[in-house]
Amino acid sequence: MLWNPWHGCRKCSPGCMNCYVYFLDGLREKNAAEITKNKTGFDLPIKRDRHGNYKIPAGTELGTCFTSDFFIEEADGWRGEAWEMIKRRSDVRFLIPTKRIRQFAECAPDDWGEGYPNVTIAVSCENQAKADERLPLLLDIKAARKYVFVSPILEYVDLSEYLAGGGIDAVSVGGESYANARECDFDWVRRIFSDCRKFGVEFDFHQTGSNFLKDGRRYRIKHRDEHSQAKKGEEYLRAELNENENRNG
Ligand code: SF4
């Protein structure tokens, strides 16, 4: 499930070039550069049904701020209230992706301590330069769980030095979606998977992107099929690596 307490964003990175928020807003003639508080869904985590129960059940994972960036400065006036809801719903897991990990220290709540136990911080880095800029910052902060999103993947990203220390819990790779999507080469995904396996880090291939290259052949994948095709690709990689490991004893 998703919770988007605010909507709209400013492009800040090569991965933003074909941002899906801009693409989808463009279809509705909406300006994604306008950052607005969600009028009806801002308080989704604490909304109750007519029986007085929370609408979001305990144990749910809520993808947080997937149509903006949780740490964007335009949301400074709203974030405090969002943190309060996150704290209050300690029975819900919040997954917060960001390209603005640099802002984290300024934006964390005063009682963050070692990190709220129900919050995962996921840093998105689409290429090596952004990984080298953002991952040292991610490793430096306190958080109960830390993820890396290599998404939209633009090249092979060598995460070895960041995975080696054990500070990253999971890596998720995804290609770019919709019109003008840049290619996602399955070989890059394969190499990142192999690096994750080497360091015992959870791996997930969440979407192929619309422009998928596998073994020299290009596939145009419909957005609705990107996730299922990626899962097939992930299964293939797991089988391939197991086979290689068995062969090599
Ligand atoms: S940070 Fe994310 S939501 Fe914001 S413009 Fe870039 S890709 Fe889009």
Domain count, the chain: 1
- For residue 227, give its domain range: 2-247
- Tens digits of residue pLDDT in 25-65: 999 999 999 999 999 999 999 999 999 999 999 999 999 99
- Which regions of 111-234 does DSSP assign to beta strands (E)? 119-124, 145-150, 170-174, 184-185, 202-207, 211-214, 217-220
Taking residues 174-195, report their average pLDDT.
97
- The residues near 82 (Cβ < 8 Å, ≥ 6 apart) are 5, 42, 70
List ligand 1's pocket residues with C-beta within 6 A.
9, 11-13, 15-16, 19, 21, 68-69, 99
Supply the CATH number for residue 7's domain: 3.80.30
Substitution candidate for ligand 1 out of 7, 19, 66 with most atoms within 8 A of CB: 19
Structure confidence at residue 245 (pLDDT): 85
Read off the pTM: 0.96
Element (H, E) at 96: strand 93-98
